[in-house]
Amino acid sequence: MSERLLELDEVSKSFGGLQCIERLDVHVDEGEIVSVIGPNGAGKTTLFNLVTGIYAPDGGDIRFEGQSIVGLEPHEITARGIARTFQTLRLFLNMTVKENVMAAAWSHTRAGIFRSILRTPGMRREEKEIEALAEQRLAFFGERLMGYRWDQPAYSLSYANRRRLEIARATATNARLLLLDEPAAGMNPVETHEITQLIGELRSKGGYTILVIEHDMHVVEGISDRVIALDHGIKISEGTFDHVATDPRVVEAYLGASATKTK
């Protein structure tokens, strides 16, 4: 069996009286693409926020590469190798496309203020490396984010390109695990098809392990090794796409109890 990259062990999180995640066990193995599905409010994004350290879990443990990451600052978790994108895009809108990606290289670069002022050879080399890294990450998306786009502010990009830029930015952190929060939201059918292929390429060419939240079942079907269905913070089903999609509890969560009865 391949290595357990991410492991959530009986993780719980509540806000006031609202139990968002309850004793949730999730694991992602090295090289896997796992999809998380569920109705709105099921706790999918909360799951991401717990893994990335925005929220601290009330109970349970989260392990990455076998080590607990509970209590670490979000930037420390990113430095360990988990990067994410956002459901509501959060780009650095007034920075250029290239700067957006370059900024994400922070955790694996070193030059401080004094070296920047003195422009030491090491700092200049590092700066070149960061630039090359950004260009390489942007090149992953074909022509979309190339050429003249590099020096344009991120706000000038179309919606789909912003989603791509967010993925490029996340990969520039040199993470091993990518958490993609609804990568196909707001995309047209062609772009959705493209993003499905792209997620596959992120694994096959980039070597990333991917945990993805997605509502578009075509995407989920196209990419997933394994699907996890959440409802009200509880895992209601897990397995291959076909298994989860036909699970009565999943159908019930999406369509209501009557749908399963009339079936």
Partner 1 sequence: MDGGKDIDPVPARPDEAQDPSRIGVDDWVASHEGRRDRGEGLLAEIRTELERVPRPAFFAGFGVAAALLPLFTSNDYIVRVGFDTLLYMLLALGLNIVVGYAGLLDLGYVAFYGFGAYGYAMLASPKFGLHWDTLAIIPVVVVATAILGFLVALPSRRLLGDYLAIVTLFFGQLFVTVYQNGNRISFLGLTRSYDLTGGPNGIPDVDNYDLGGLHIGSVRGYYYVALIIFLLVLGCVYLVDLSRTGRAWKSLREDPLAAELMGIPVKRLKLIAFACGAGIAGLTGTLFAGLNTAVFSANFDVATLIIVYAILILGGAGSLGGVILGALVVNVSLEVLRTPGHATWIFYVVLAATLIAKVRPWKRLAVLLVATIGLGYAAHAIVSSAWPRGVEGSASVGGWFGDGLNGWELHPSNPRFIGNLAFVALVFAVLLLTMIDGWKRLAALVPTLYLASFVWENRLVVEPSITRLILIGVILIVLMNARPQGLLGTSRVEIV
Listed residue (133, 73, 90) closest to 109, CA to CA: 133
Residue of 33, 47, 69, 130 that binds partner 1 (CB under 8 A): 130
Contact 15, 49 (CB under 8 A): no
- The pattern of x and - marking residues 60 through 79 that bind partner 1 according to CB under 8 A reads -------------xxx--xx
Give yes or no for residue 158 binding partner 1 (CB under 8 A): yes
Task: Determine the Cα–Cα distance for residues 29 and 43; give it in Å rounded to an integer.
Answer: 21
Give yes or no for residue 176 binding partner 1 (CB under 8 A): no
Task: Determine the Cα–Cα distance for residues 46 and 29; give it in Å rounded to an integer.
Answer: 20
Give yes or no for residue 177 binding partner 1 (CB under 8 A): no
Residue of 8, 42, 50, 123 that binds partner 1 (CB under 8 A): 123
Give yes or no for residue 93 binding partner 1 (CB under 8 A): yes
Q: Within 13 Å and on the Cβ side, how many CA atoms surround 31?
A: 5
From the CB of 4, what's the least distance to partner 1, in Å?
23
Residues 200-259 that bind partner 1 (CB under 8 A): none
Residue of 26, 102, 210, 212 that binds partner 1 (CB under 8 A): 102
Give yes or no for residue 156 binding partner 1 (CB under 8 A): yes
Contact 167, 139 (CB under 8 A): no
Strand partners, 29: 4
Give yes or no for residue 143 binding partner 1 (CB under 8 A): yes
Give yes or no for residue 139 binding partner 1 (CB under 8 A): no
- At residue 131's C-alpha, the angle toward residues 125 and 135, to 5°, is 145
Give yes or no for residue 106 binding partner 1 (CB under 8 A): yes
Residue 119: phi and psi, rounded to 5, are: 50, 55
Instruction: Give whichever of 13 and 164 is closer to partner 1, judged by the CB atom.
Output: 164
Instruction: Give whichever of 16 and 73 is closer to partner 1, judged by the CB atom.
Output: 73
Residue 215: phi and psi, rounded to 5, are: -100, -25
For residue 154, count other CB atoms closer than 10 A to its CB: 23
Rg (CA), the chain: 19
Listed residue (178, 179, 169) closest to 105, CA to CA: 169
Give yes or no for residue 195 binding partner 1 (CB under 8 A): no
Sole window of 59-67, 112-120, 202-210, 218-226 interacting with partner 1 (rule: CB under 8 A) = 112-120
Contact 28, 209 (CB under 8 A): yes
Residues in contact with partner 1 by CB under 8 A are: 52, 54, 73-75, 78-79, 83-84, 86, 90-95, 99-100, 102-109, 111-113, 116-117, 119, 123, 126-127, 130, 142-144, 148, 151-153, 155-158, 160-161, 169-170, 172-173, 188-191
